[in-house]
Amino acid sequence: MTAIDEGVLKLDPEEARRVRQERLERIGRWVLPLAIMILAIWLWDRICVWNEIPQYILPRPGVVLWTLYNDAGLLFSALLVTLRITFLSLALAVIGGVGLAVLFAQSKWVEMSFFPFAIVLQVTPIVAIFPLINIYVDNQTTKLLLCAWIVAFFPILSNTTLGLNSVDRNLRDMFKLNGATRWQQLRYLRLPAAMPYFLGGLKIAGGLSLIGAVVAEFVAGATGQSSGLASRIIEAGYRLNAPRLFAALFLISLTGILIFLVLSLISHLILRRWHESALKQER
Amino acid sequence: MMQENVAQAPASASDVAPTLLALRGVGKVFSNGVTALSDVDLTIREGDFLSLLGPSGCGKSTALRLIAGLSTPTSGVLDWRGGGSLDRSNIGFVFQEPTLLPWASVFDNVWLPLRLKGVSRAKAAPAVTQMLARVHLTGFEDAVPRELSGGMKMRVSIARAMVTKPRVLLMDEPFAALDEITRFKLNNDLLELWQDERFTVVFVTHSVFESVFLSNRVVVMAARPGRVFDELAIEAAYPRDEAFRTSPDYAALCRQASDVLVKAINSTAGAHHDGH
């Protein structure tokens, strides 16, 4: 899908319209969301000015940006703490999710027996479990990790299990015919086949592990000692320091977006040669 | 794949190639009560190009799966001569779809059977390269399946089945999904390969023309229950080329096979409620 030079190639009106349409769409994909975003920020600023809203209720966007710059030391060190929990829990979610999925894939009986436990863990709100974790676990980092892990591991487990079980039947027969061992079948057939599913789960889990980390900090922050972004937000809330609250919020969303983009890129790079989802639309 | 070693049958006539596999009274009933195969007697000789021809539901694919050891018969025996049961590495299988690993390159797909036997990439390279040359895919080693046409994917599938130099190649309607021009080309290339290497082929198809063009024996099967209806010897000489495809001999043989097939299909209508 390279740009078509209309000067060289004579296009009929229909094709020319299609080329124009495609070009417009390409530009619009970036320009439109950006324009709406800028408009929304401008409107936010105007609403503050028009209604003379005090800064401790709703700060103007410029003030938020200024605070982000001014409090950078404080906010970014807090972000680092949150990021550490996020990535550690994501890593553990990958290990736990894939590990359990591989275990489930060994036998339908294992899967049938243990999958309900995973679902119970998943559907119980983490905020409700946290007081228990607080009683049983002493170490602060472990508490937060456990929390974020419980939130993040399920999509990986569920997706990878689905992937491991959706191998083409003929391919399975082919492996059997060639005398493949269980391990060979897992390594050369089922794991690669599950890759797109796993990566889909990873994209969801990336965002969830951040949410898990922040929520865990919130709950833990209420009981005292935590230094992540969430505790900065709580602190700022107590002090009616709305600009800092907004700045911290902005950092969290930005982090979430970055995590999603990075994971999408990884997924694209791994799948681009063979999986339908990563292929360009061909007509 | 455990077979009973049945006592040696009397020696066959001297002008006939030695028996490779004898199916004796083989039947297969699925758990849902469907009789896929009933009392099949079939002798496959060394070097045969044998087609199983029949309408859908005649059990030809089931017969192939039984021979491959992917399924076990309900009754009867499969008697592998040449030393009891054949090792699975002596069987190559080509499915109806190319059935390639979508994430692996052409080279890695063909390497796979050797890889599963513990042969390293470097050690397997000569065999893989040679096999790819045999199916006219030199230069496509690094392509992934989605970059290939349907015919090329099928060539990769054949190369993969043949890379272990099996004595028997089992093919389950391998060219059914291809366009006619590609199918003719693959027919020719398969025959060339078969004549050079002299392995045994069991070829499942529902095409009269394909079975007559390729085989020296056409076994016509009938449905409900799946069974062998009749057998035709195709005595035209090899090599068979495009000239043979348009010859009156070929047309006559096709008509003969077609007549038998029609009889086989009609026999099903009559045998519909006879309690099998």
Query: Do A185 and A90 reside in the same domain of the chain?
Result: yes
Q: In Å, how far are B51, B175, B187, B193, B242 from B181, measured between CA atoms? A: 21, 11, 10, 19, 12
Each residue's pLDDT tens digit, B68-121: 988 899 998 888 876 555 566 688 999 999 999 999 999 999 999 999 999 999
Answer with the residue of higher pLDDT: B204 or A9.
B204
| Interchain contact B35–A (C-beta under 8 A) | no
* pLDDT score of A189: 96
Mean pLDDT, range B36-47, rounded to an integer: 91
Query: Do B81 and B112 reside in the same domain of the chain?
Result: no
| Interchain contact A179–B (C-beta under 8 A) | yes
Query: Do A98 and A208 reside in the same domain of the chain?
Result: yes
Question: A183 pLDDT exceeds 60?
Answer: yes
Query: Do A134 and A268 reside in the same domain of the chain?
Result: yes
Query: Do A77 and A140 reside in the same domain of the chain?
Result: yes
How many contacts (CB atoms, under 8 Å) link A and B? 53
State CA B129 to chain mean position distance.
Answer: 24
**Domain carrying residue B162:** 100-166
B residues 72-91 closer than 8 Å to A (CB): 88-89, 91
Query: Do A35 and A69 reside in the same domain of the chain?
Result: no
**Domain carrying residue A188:** 61-278
* pLDDT score of B224: 84
CB B199 within 8 A of CB B163: no
Query: Do A155 and A267 reside in the same domain of the chain?
Result: yes
Q: Indicate the residue among A16, A32, A52 that finishes a domain.
A: A52
Query: Do A115 and A75 reside in the same domain of the chain?
Result: yes
Residue B199 lies in a domain: yes
| Interchain contact A2–B (C-beta under 8 A) | no
Domain with residue A183: its CATH number is: 1.10.3720.10
- The DSSP 8-state label assigned to residue A223 in this structure reads T
Query: Which residues of B fall within a CB distance of 8 Å from A177?
Result: 68-70, 88, 91, 93
Asked if A171's CB is within 8 angstroms of B93's CB, the reply is no
| Interchain contact A188–B (C-beta under 8 A) | yes
Query: Do B176 and B149 reside in the same domain of the chain?
Result: no
How many domains does chain A divide into?
2
Domain with residue B29: its CATH number is: 3.40.50.300
* pLDDT score of A121: 84
Quote the CA–CA distance of B67 and B61 in Å, as a whole number: 10
Lowest mean pLDDT among A106-120, A255-269, B190-204: A106-120
Question: A225 pLDDT exceeds 90?
Answer: no
Query: Do A30 and A161 reside in the same domain of the chain?
Result: no
Q: Indicate the residue among B113, B131, B166 that finishes a domain.
A: B166
Residue B240 phi, psi dihedral angles, 5° rounding? -105, 130
Query: Do B133 and B261 reside in the same domain of the chain?
Result: no
Helix, strand, or coil here: A5? coil
Check the CA dihedral B121-B125-B131-B134 and report its sign.
positive
Answer with the residue of higher pLDDT: A222 or A44.
A44
Residue B210 phi, psi dihedral angles, 5° rounding? -65, -45
Residue B10 lies in a domain: no
* pLDDT score of B84: 56
Mean pLDDT, range A203-208, rounded to an integer: 94
Asked if B112's CB is within 8 angstroms of A275's CB, the reply is no
Query: Do B182 and B269 reside in the same domain of the chain?
Result: yes
* pLDDT score of A5: 52
Q: DSSP for chain B?
A: -----PPPPPPPPTTSPPEEEEEEEEEEE-TTS-EEEEEEEEEEETT-EEEEE--TTSSHHHHHHHHHTSS--SEEEEEE-SSSSPPGGGEEEE-SS----TTS-HHHHHHHHHHHTT--HHHHHHHHHHHHHHTT-TT-TT--GGGS-HHHHHHHHHHHHHTT--SEEEEESTTTTS-HHHHHHHHHHHHHHHHHH--EEEEEES-HHHHHHH-SEEEEEETTTTEEEEEEE--PPSS--HHHHTSHHHHHHHHHHHHHHHHHHHHHHHGGGS--
Residue B196 lies in a domain: yes
For the beta carbon of residue B41, count every other beta carbon within 10 angstroms. 12
Q: Determine which of A173, A176, A178, A272 to mutate to test the interface with B (most B C-beta atoms within 10 Å).
A: A178
Residue B13 lies in a domain: no
How many domains does chain B divide into?
2
Query: Do B184 and B244 reside in the same domain of the chain?
Result: yes
Asked if A273's CB is within 8 angstroms of B116's CB, the reply is no
Distance from CA of A186 to the nearest CA of B (A): 12
- The whole-chain average pLDDT of chain A stands at 88
Which regions of A107-200 does DSSP assign to beta strands (E)?
Answer: none
Query: Do B68 and B195 reside in the same domain of the chain?
Result: yes
Mean pLDDT, range A17-40, rounded to an integer: 92
Asked if A178's CB is within 8 angstroms of B89's CB, the reply is yes
Residue A283 lies in a domain: no
CB B103 within 8 A of CB A192: yes
Q: Which helix (H) or strand (E) holds A122?
A: helix A108-123
- The whole-chain average pLDDT of chain B stands at 87
* pLDDT score of B271: 47
Residue A260 lies in a domain: yes
Is residue A83 packed enough to be buried (19+ CB in 10 Å), middle (13-18) or exposed (0-12)?
middle
Residue A129 lies in a domain: yes
* pLDDT score of A173: 93
Query: Do B182 and B79 reside in the same domain of the chain?
Result: yes
Query: Do B75 and B189 reside in the same domain of the chain?
Result: yes
Each residue's pLDDT tens digit, A116-156: 888 888 888 888 888 888 889 888 889 889 989 998 999 99
Give yes or no for a cis peptide into B225 (omega within 30° of 0). yes
Query: Do A125 and A206 reside in the same domain of the chain?
Result: yes
Query: Do A141 and A237 reside in the same domain of the chain?
Result: yes
Closest by Cα among B197, B93, B109, B206 to B153: B109
Q: DSSP for B79-136?
A: EE-SSSSPPGGGEEEE-SS----TTS-HHHHHHHHHHHTT--HHHHHHHHHHHHHHTT
Question: B164 pLDDT exceeds 50?
Answer: yes
Q: Which two tokens stand for residue B52?
A: 């199983």
Lowest mean pLDDT among A89-98, A136-145, B180-189, B200-209: A136-145
Residue B92 lies in a domain: no
Residue A158 lies in a domain: yes
Mean pLDDT, range A104-123, rounded to an integer: 87
| Interchain contact A170–B (C-beta under 8 A) | yes
CB A209 within 8 A of CB A82: no
Query: Do B160 and B172 reside in the same domain of the chain?
Result: no
CB B151 within 8 A of CB B189: no
Mean pLDDT, range A85-93, rounded to an integer: 95
Query: Do A269 and A166 reside in the same domain of the chain?
Result: yes
Residue B57 lies in a domain: yes
Query: Do B248 and B162 reside in the same domain of the chain?
Result: no
Asked if A279's CB is within 8 angstroms of B146's CB, the reply is yes
Q: Indicate the residue among B166, B191, B207 that finishes a domain.
A: B166
Query: Do B174 and B68 reside in the same domain of the chain?
Result: yes
End-to-end CA distance of chain A: 10
Is residue B37 packed enough to be buried (19+ CB in 10 Å), middle (13-18) or exposed (0-12)?
buried
Q: Indicate the residue among B116, B146, B166 that finishes a domain.
A: B166
Quickly state the pLDDT bin for A279 (edges 50, 70, 90). low
Question: B209 pLDDT exceeds 90?
Answer: yes
Distance from CA of A268 to the nearest CA of B (A): 13
Query: Do B184 and B237 reside in the same domain of the chain?
Result: yes
Task: Please report the ipTM that was assigned to this predicted complex.
Answer: 0.86
- The DSSP 8-state label assigned to residue B16 in this structure reads S
Query: Do A104 and A180 reside in the same domain of the chain?
Result: yes
Strand pairing report for B217-222 and B49-53: parallel
Quickly state the pLDDT bin for A42 (edges 50, 70, 90). very high
